[in-house]
Copies of this chain bind each other. A is one copy, B any other.
Amino acid sequence: MSQHARRQRPEADPFTERTPRVVAARHLTRRQGRDKAGRFLVEGAQAVREALAWQGGEVHELFVTVTAAERNAELLQTADQAGIRISEVTDKAAASLSETVTPQGLIAVCDAVPQPLESALQGTPRLVAVLYGVSDPGNAGTVTRVADAAGADAVIFAGDTVDPHNGKCVRASTGSLFHVPIARSRDAAEVFAACRQAGLKLVAADGHAKDDLVEASAKGELTQPTAWVFGSEAHGLPDDVVAKLDTSLKVPMYGAAESLNLATAAAVCLYASVRDQRNLS
């Protein structure tokens, strides 16, 4: 990579954690900074590769350590050819931009992923995941990955849900944040209205629901275009939210387990819908 860095900054020393551009990027490790800039940080080779291939926004610059540059020559060439500014940074500077225990030495500054609700729900969506009040970023990212795998049309971060750009959420999504349209809104009523407008049935995934999805599937009730609404792992969905939706279904517990964790429950719900929708067509 040093050749790329040199091409842009011929005789410069690596950026340190005090270099203004690194300081500016470090603001993106906090939600407030990300919201203000409309940008976020993406770390590691796989995630940066996904960001570079993403059609929904731009990568604005790359920071890379000497060691990471040697490991990722091809990736940096791709970025360089796309005209993306690449800067060599010290290990300490890279660590200051990282939220992981073992910094990867490769960080991209990238446009925020959410798009307007109407845009994320355009066309005739058949399967959507709505996260409501999900505070754990790992869970939110894993559900995004599952939604992508199930071919969902969108993932919506609603109400007081974690920022999709949170470093742990980005990592847990393993690139899916760049694959599936993402929207967010603090106003859950607006989200539910937009889903209905798009022809989606709003189904609460609720461990306390009377009906379960295996029975619902047997009755042919899962073939409709559906927005599954998932609550926090600790508290589930509040009653007043469940009351606003069209129906509630639980994942049946056939053994003695009290519940599933959020990501595994979401996997069962989303694949139950996709299975019935696909076997119909």
Contact of B214 with A149 in the complex, beta carbons under 8 Å: no
A240 to chain B, nearest CB (A): 27
Contact of B148 with A179 in the complex, beta carbons under 8 Å: no
Q: Which of A24-32, A196-204, A241-249, A258-266 contacts B (4 or more CB under 8 A)?
A: A258-266
Q: Which of A116-124, A159-167, A269-277 contacts B (4 or more CB under 8 A)?
A: A269-277
Q: Bound complex: CA of A265 vs CA of B217, how far in Å? A: 19
How many protomers of this protein does the assembly include? 2
- With A267-B268, A268-B268, A275-B272 as contacts: A254 and B217 at CB distance below 8 Å: no
Contact of B149 with A253 in the complex, beta carbons under 8 Å: yes
Interfacial chain B residues near A79, Cβ < 8 Å? none
Contact of A214 with B251 in the complex, beta carbons under 8 Å: no
Any B CB within 8 A of the CB of A180: yes
Q: Which residue of B lies closest to A270 (CB)?
A: B268
Interfacial chain B residues near A174, Cβ < 8 Å? 257-258
Report which of B148, B267, B274 forms a contact with A256, defined as CB distance below 8 A: B148
Q: Which residue of B lies closest to A256 (CB)?
A: B179
Any B CB within 8 A of the CB of A57: no
Q: Bound complex: CA of A217 vs CA of B280, how far in Å? A: 13
Any B CB within 8 A of the CB of A81: no
Q: Bound complex: CA of A136 vs CA of B279, how far in Å? A: 35
Q: Bound complex: CA of A266 vs CA of B152, how far in Å? A: 19
Contact of B145 with A260 in the complex, beta carbons under 8 Å: yes
Contact of B254 with A149 in the complex, beta carbons under 8 Å: yes
Any B CB within 8 A of the CB of A235: no
Contact of B149 with A179 in the complex, beta carbons under 8 Å: no
- With A256-B176, A263-B263 as contacts: A279 and B151 at CB distance below 8 Å: no
Q: Bound complex: CA of A174 vs CA of B264, how far in Å? A: 14
| Interface flags, A168-198, vs B, CB<8A=1, else 0 | 0000001110011000000000000000000
Report which of B148, B149, B271, B279 forms a contact with A218, defined as CB distance below 8 A: B279
- With A149-B257, A180-B255, A254-B149 as contacts: A271 and B274 at CB distance below 8 Å: no
Any B CB within 8 A of the CB of A278: yes
A→B interface (CB under 8 Å): 142, 145-152, 174-176, 179-180, 214, 217-218, 251, 253-261, 263-268, 271-272, 274-275, 278-279
Q: Sample 15 A-B pairs with CB under 8 A, ordered by A number.
A: A148-B255, A148-B257, A149-B253, A149-B255, A149-B259, A149-B260, A152-B255, A175-B258, A179-B256, A180-B255, A217-B275, A261-B263, A263-B264, A271-B272, A272-B275
